Structure 1
Amino acid sequence: MVEEENKNEDKTRENPCTTKQSSKKRNRKEVAIFGNYRNYYGYRVDHDLEEDPRMKVLKRDWFEGKKCLDIGCNSGLITISIAKKFGCQSILGVDIDGDRIEDAHWTLRKVAKMSARILSSKKPKRADAELFNGLENHTSASLTEVTPQKSVDTPCLQGNDLFDIVSFQKGNFVQNWRPPQDTYYHTILCLSVTKWIHLNWGDEGLITLFWKVWKLLQPGGVFILEPQPWSSYKNNRLVTETAATNYKTIQIPPEDFQDILLDKIGFRRVDNLTSTLSGSKTGFNRPILAFWK
């Protein structure tokens, strides 16, 4: 069996065409049909920024001491940043891609380890800083900077505290994901995910998303939504045949999401956070809306 594998490997090395074909196959497999891009935060957030610009419009009251859910968490940087900056009671990140969930667990372990070192040394070592620069090719102050003493603005979470607060889980939120032990949440985030749900499961999938969020929210809870504009759907409509078909049949454009959430789903009010958002890269200047149950 080993000899056979070695022969196949030799053939691949001897035949450049085979290598190119293999490379093409790998590239095809890496198409992010659910928006599950590798290094997503690396190209979304400018490297000279201290944190993801979206963190600046989120309010402590929505998270501090609260149970929170992050739908489509990708590699977990926003999830972990929220936990560290605002001190959630708990925050669960859910993503359809198991590889991204593995990335999120890796990120959590590294952040917890570095946070503990920074606390003990009271200043990051050069190696620690280099490690954080490697996280999604993005440095975030909310992940790396931990003050030695607690302050009103920034809860000081030690490394092990993060493991008690932050968790990640693979799951398809629209089709079959259920919260652990019938948990309900005070705050639910859905950032730049609706387009992918829309393209993969059409209008029905989108409405399912909204209804599930409503049911999982505590009374008085907040749903933080960052929808992609309709113009961006065209760029991704051909990722699969299903996406191409759904693109042609979608009847609910993103500009109607607010009316549906208020008039049909039952949210009582909405706040537009976009006016205070700055620093996003071109193409990511998207509305961020907070809906109140």
Structure 2
Amino acid sequence: MYASCGTWFYQNEAVTAPATVDVEAKIPALTSNQLNKLRHEAHRHGNYTSYYTFRSQSVPDPRLTQLQSFVQGRRTLDLGCNAGKLTLELATHFAASQVVGVDLDAGLIAAAYEAKRVALSEGQKVENVTFEEFDFANTWPFQGTAAGRWDVVMLLSVVKWLHLNNSDAVLVELFKRLFEIVAPGGYLVLEPQDWPNYKRAVNKCPSLKENFKKLELRPPFTETLLNGGWEEVDGWERDEFGFERSVRIWKRPANGEQ
């Protein structure tokens, strides 16, 4: 059996082959807006794999430079660590005694460990950095190397995402749990996104809309944190290439402090 010019010959009899169906031509192409929404839906927890291509790529990160007096030499837990850039810089530039980065995205944790491998191969002192994969907003007690008591807990550019994907109650409970694991005199570092930023995220990722409509708490959550026993000790506004964010430093009072 052989074919020629769309006609099949079988036992010396010509048989016309069926017309080829162009399946792709029958599927309408997605618009750039539709593709963008699919991308955001796939990263609805803020777990963008390219986050540090559109955030500052400075080394060390400018936020950590501003935080130096709070993080230098301390045992630090980095919640929502993405691919570990800041987590590793806490060790390489700020002599953190121990650093653990936590993220719920397995791919990002794998990327963080790869970044650590490269850093070690270059002679950087990052042996005291580890990474854990779990949903820290809904896991208690924290597991693995993230367990225990910490001098500093960081929530940089992540509170919006855990708030939008969960609820007011989950956020309040998280602040309560963090108060338990921060050592007396230790710090909680927040980078809360403002409410218009929430709205923009929902427009890009419509599946967050139902949760969004139920939220009553508003950033920067000052009253919630004060009611939870935290004391605000510092903070500043930042404008980093269009990322207009504040950084707020909260302290768990040392025993006996008012």
Q: TM-score range by the shorter chain?
A: 0.7 to 0.9
Q: Does the 8 Å CA contact 2:149/2:183 hold for their aligned counterparts?
A: yes
Q: Is the aligned partner of 1:270 residue 2:233?
A: yes
**d(CA) in 1 for partners of 2:169, 2:61:** 31
State the TM-score, normalized to the length of structure 1: 0.69
| CA distances 1:172-223 after superposition (whole Å, capped 9, x unpaired) | 0111151437411010000011111111102112112211211110111100
In structure 2, what is the equivalent of residue 11 of structure 1? none
**d(CA) in 1 for partners of 2:90, 2:173:** 26
In structure 1, what is the equivalent of residue 223 of structure 2? 259
Distance 1:166 1:219, change over 3 A: same
Pairs aligned (count)? 224
Question: What residue identity is the alignment partner of 1:210?
Answer: F
Q: Does the 8 Å CA contact 2:234/2:248 hold for their aligned counterparts?
A: yes
- Structure with more strand by fraction: 2
CA RMSD of aligned residues (A): 2.5
Q: Does the 8 Å CA contact 1:93/1:167 hold for their aligned counterparts?
A: yes
Q: Which has the higher contact order (CA 8 A, sep 6+)?
A: 1
- Give runs of aligned pairs for residues 173-212 of structure 1, distance below 5 A: 173-177=136-140, 178-180=142-144, 182-212=147-177
Q: Does the 8 Å CA contact 1:226/1:286 hold for their aligned counterparts?
A: yes
Question: What residue identity is the alignment partner of 2:82?
Answer: N
Q: Does the 8 Å CA contact 1:226/1:288 hold for their aligned counterparts?
A: yes
Q: Does the 8 Å CA contact 1:63/1:187 hold for their aligned counterparts?
A: no
Please identify the structure whose Cα radius of gyration is greater. 2
| CA distances 1:6-60 after superposition (whole Å, capped 9, x unpaired) | xxxxxxxx74357968xx8998377211000011011011x5x454221221124
SS of the aligned residue for 2:244 comes to: coil
Q: Which consecutive unaligned segments of at least 5 residues does structure 1 have?
A: 1-13, 117-158
Match of 2:245 among 266, 282, 286: 286
Q: Which consecutive unaligned segments of at least 5 residues does structure 2 have?
A: 1-21, 253-258
SS of the aligned residue for 2:216 comes to: coil
Q: Does the 8 Å CA contact 1:60/1:86 hold for their aligned counterparts?
A: no
**d(CA) in 1 for partners of 2:153, 2:161:** 18
Q: Does the 8 Å CA contact 1:224/1:289 hold for their aligned counterparts?
A: yes
Question: What residue identity is the alignment partner of 1:162?
Answer: V
Q: Does the 8 Å CA contact 1:273/1:290 hold for their aligned counterparts?
A: no
In structure 2, what is the equivalent of residue 71 of structure 1? 79
- Give runs of aligned pairs for residues 1-293 of structure 1, distance below 5 A: 15-17=23-25, 28=38, 31-45=42-56, 49-64=58-73, 66-114=74-122, 116=123, 159=124, 161-163=125-127, 165-177=128-140, 178-180=142-144, 182-237=147-202, 239-241=205-207, 243-255=208-220, 257-262=221-226, 264-274=227-237, 277=238, 280-282=240-242, 284-293=243-252
